[in-house]
Amino acid sequence: MNAVDLAAWEQRRREANRYYQHKQFDVFLDLARENLRLIRTLNDHSRERIALNDLGLAYLSCRQPQQALEFLHQAHCLAEASSDQPAIAATLLNLGSAYSHLGQLSQALHLLQQARSLYQSLQDLSGEVTAIHQIALLYADQGEQNRSLLLHHQVLSMRRLLGDFAGEAATLNGIGCAHSKLGQIEQAIRYFREARAIQQAVKDVAGEATTLNNLATAYGDVGEYNHALLTYHQVLLTHQAIHNRHGEAVTFQNLGYTYAQLGHFDQALQHYVRALIHYQALGDRPGEIAILINMGSLHAGVLNKKQAQDCYRHAHSLVQQIDNPLLVSRIQALMDSL
For the chain, give every domain's residue range: 1-129
What is the CATH number that goes with domain 1-129? 1.25.40.10
pLDDT at 61: 86
- Whether the per-residue pLDDT at 4 is higher than 70: the answer is no
Distance separating the N- and C-terminal Cα atoms of the chain: 67
Under the banding of pLDDT at 50, 70 and 90, the label for residue 323 is: low
pTM of the model: 0.78
Which tens digits make up the pLDDT trace of 6-16?
Answer: 888 999 999 99
More confident position, 246 or 147 = 147
pLDDT at 151: 97
pLDDT at 194: 97
pLDDT at 37: 94
pLDDT at 64: 81
Long-range contacts from 132-139, C-beta under 8 angstroms, 24+ separation: 132/158, 133/167, 133/170, 133/171, 133/174, 134/93, 134/96, 134/97, 134/100, 135/109, 136/174, 137/100, 137/174, 138/100, 138/105, 138/108, 138/109, 138/112
Q: What average pLDDT does this structure show over 108-129?
A: 96
Q: What average pLDDT does this structure show over 134-146?
A: 92
pLDDT at 289: 93
pLDDT at 6: 87
Point out the least confidently predicted range of 60-69, 116-125, 293-302.
60-69
